[in-house]
Amino acid sequence: MERLSRRTLMTAMAGAGVVLGTAGRAFAFSEDIPTVRTLALHDNACGATASHKELVAEVERVLGDQYTEAEKRRVIATMTCPICGCPLSGFF
């Protein structure tokens, strides 16, 4: 087996860098817009409707009477479910 010279190795690495640099965007990940069916499957899988309503009720209980209803809605509108990441704004 022949040893690879440093010059050959550096030339090959430079060539690989050029190829990778001109390859364009990576296609490993792509943005997907969920369909209604996908959203329904996700909702059924994580039981979101029940757990999200419980989270909203807990936030309202914690905030208590110190805040107006509008302030509570603003707080809840900024929150997401810690399990699935869905926004809680639609459940109050």
Q: What is the pLDDT of residues 1-52, one digit of tens each?
A: 578 788 887 888 887 776 666 666 656 667 778 788 877 776 666 566 777 8
Question: What ranges do the domains of the chain cover?
Answer: 50-92
Q: Distance between CA 91 and CA 87 in Å, rounded?
A: 9
Count other Cβ atoms within 10 Å, centred on residue 27: 7
84, 45 Cβ separation under 8 angstroms: no
SS3 call for 4: coil
Task: Decide: pTM greater than 0.85.
Answer: no
